[in-house]
Amino acid sequence: MEVRIVVAERAPEEAAQAEAAQEVDRGRAAEGMAGLAKGLAIVEAFGPQRTRLSVTEAARATDISPATARRCLLTLEAAGYVSYDGKYFRPTPRMVRLGAAYLETSPLPLLAQPHVLAARDELAESVSLAVLEGDNSVFVARAEVARIVSTGARLGAQLPAHASATGRVLLAALPDAEVEELLARADLQRTTPNTLTSVEAIRERVQRARVDGIASTDEELALGMRSMAVPVRDARGRTVAAMSVAAFAARISLAEMQATFAPVLLRHATRLGKML
């Protein structure tokens, strides 16, 4: 009998709390700008595989109606972020400002740049710093080595977390449940004969990175390219980024990278981590 009374007394309070939470959610939705969100989704749809977009392609890539995609693209054109040739929309240099807002104000890229530069000079190979953004590893600092043929990566580039050395280092810092969720929705398509396409194999690489504190790829994303990454841990021991080096397979073996590159990366990653 007492249990029934307690439940009856708490029910109105719980109902009021639930209603208040719903009001907050409705308020947030009312204050948000759906059009802006759709426009930003189209901006993010551009990339190495989509250097130009038609209205139909933009709608398909962002899962919005063609009419809405057209309005967003025309708005972006009017603002100077894309150009239009009558069929295709292409990003303009002004698009760089969107990424620069983060790179020029966040302390991580600013603090990291001297360290990736120093590591590049010491290794004579391109060095990058990446963070986890959704299901991707995103380069937020980079120092490219001067060669006739470059590695093809760039500042702001995104790599699938499950398939990249930086991504596996970053995934290794997450709880197992979050890793499993990402692997369950990952697009495990083969891009080279060495690409890992089974969840079990990728999970093993992530777990190995967790134990070893280092991850590598051997021509898994692109033929002729090897990479290695280590975690950047802040003062609390949390992995906040991954520092990596990429090199042509013809220049160095994985064993040589492990012996000569890993100590340099670990040293610079540790120095950066102490500043965070």
Q: Can you give the pLDDT at residue 47?
A: 75
**Are 193 and 246 in a shared domain?**
yes
Whole-angstrom Cα distance, residue 223 to residue 243?
Answer: 21
Query: Averaged over 2-16, what is the pLDDT?
Result: 43
Q: Can you give the pLDDT at residue 5?
A: 37
Q: Can you give the pLDDT at residue 235?
A: 87
**Are 152 and 222 in a shared domain?**
yes
> Is there a contact between 88 and 52 (Cβ–Cβ < 8 Å)?
yes
Please give the residue that has the higher pLDDT: either 11 or 255.
255
**Are 34 and 129 in a shared domain?**
no
- Cross-strand pairs, 215: 229
CATH number at residue 235: 3.30.450.40
- Supply the angle between the helices 107-123 and 262-273 in degrees, to the nearest 10: 150
Whole-angstrom Cα distance, residue 165 to residue 152?
Answer: 16
**Are 67 and 121 in a shared domain?**
no
Residue 25 resides in a domain:
yes
Q: In Å, how far from its chain's centre is CA 193? A: 24
Q: How many domains does the chain have?
A: 2
Q: Can you give the pLDDT at residue 21?
A: 47
Query: In which region does residue 237 sit, left (phi positive, over 0), alpha (psi from -120 to 50) or beta (all else)?
Result: left
**60, 95, 130 — which closes off a domain?**
95
The predicted-structure confidence for 161-173, as pLDDT tens digits, reads as follows 999 999 999 999 9
**Domain boundaries, position 155:** 106-273
**Are 162 and 51 in a shared domain?**
no
Q: Can you give the pLDDT at residue 102?
A: 63
Residue 231 resides in a domain:
yes
Whether the predicted pLDDT of 28 surpasses 60:
no
Instruction: Share the mean pLDDT of the chain.
Output: 84
**50, 71, 95 — which closes off a domain?**
95
DSSP 3-state assignment of 104? coil
**Are 115 and 195 in a shared domain?**
yes
**Are 84 and 208 in a shared domain?**
no
pLDDT-derived band of residue 8, with 50, 70 and 90 as boundaries? Answer: very low
pLDDT-derived band of residue 101, with 50, 70 and 90 as boundaries? Answer: low
Q: Can you give the pLDDT at residue 11?
A: 46
Residue 101 resides in a domain:
no
Query: Averaged over 230-246, what is the pLDDT?
Result: 94
**Are 123 and 238 in a shared domain?**
yes
Query: Averaged over 180-206, what is the pLDDT?
Result: 93
Whether the predicted pLDDT of 190 surpasses 80:
yes
CATH number at residue 30: 1.10.10.10
Residue 100 resides in a domain:
no
Whole-angstrom Cα distance, residue 229 to residue 213?
Answer: 9
